[in-house]
Amino acid sequence: AQSVAQPEDQVNVAEGNPLTVKCTYSVSGNPYLFWYVQYPNRGLQFLLKYITGDNLVKGSYGFEAEFNKSQTSFHLKKPSALVSDSALYFCAVSRTGTASKLTFGTGTRLQVTL
Amino acid sequence: GAVVSQHPSRVICKSGTSVKIECRSLDFQATTMFWYRQFPKQSLMLMATSNEGSKATYEQGVEKDKFLINHASLTLSTLTVTSAHPEDSSFYICSARASNPGVATEAFFGQGTRLTVV
B1/A105 touch (CB, cutoff 8 Å), yes or no = no
B49/A101 touch (CB, cutoff 8 Å), yes or no = yes
Predicted confidence (pLDDT) per residue in A19-57, tens digit:
999 999 998 888 889 999 998 878 889 999 998 889 999
Is B82 an interface residue toward A (CB < 8 Å)?
A: no
d(CA B94, CA A78) in angstroms, rounded, equals 28
Most confident of A67-71, A97-101, B40-44, B95-99: A67-71
Which residues are CB-neighbours of A97 under 8 A, at least 6 positions away? none
* B residues 48-67 closer than 8 Å to A (CB): 49
Give, in order, the Cα–Cα distances in Å from B97 to each of A40, B15, B16, B57, B107. Answer: 23, 33, 33, 16, 5
Is A35 an interface residue toward B (CB < 8 Å)?
A: no
Q: Taking a C-beta distance cutoff of 8 angstroms, is the pair B26, B75 a contact?
A: yes
| 3-state SS assignment for residue A60 | helix
At residue B104, the pLDDT reads 60
Q: Where does the pLDDT of residue A72 fall: very low under 50, low under 70, confident under 90, or very high at 90 and above? A: very high
Angle at B52 between CA B96 and CA B18, to 5 degrees: 80
Point out the residue among B43, B49, B108 whose CB comes nearest to the CB of A104: B43
* pLDDT averaged over 10-residue windows placed end to end, chain B, 118 residues: 88 97 90 88 87 88 94 92 96 84 72 95
A99/B31 touch (CB, cutoff 8 Å), yes or no = yes
B53, β-bridge pairs: none
Q: Which of B1, B73, B89, B76 is nearest to B37 (CA)?
A: B89
Is B99 an interface residue toward A (CB < 8 Å)?
A: yes
B106/A107 touch (CB, cutoff 8 Å), yes or no = no
At residue A101, the pLDDT reads 79
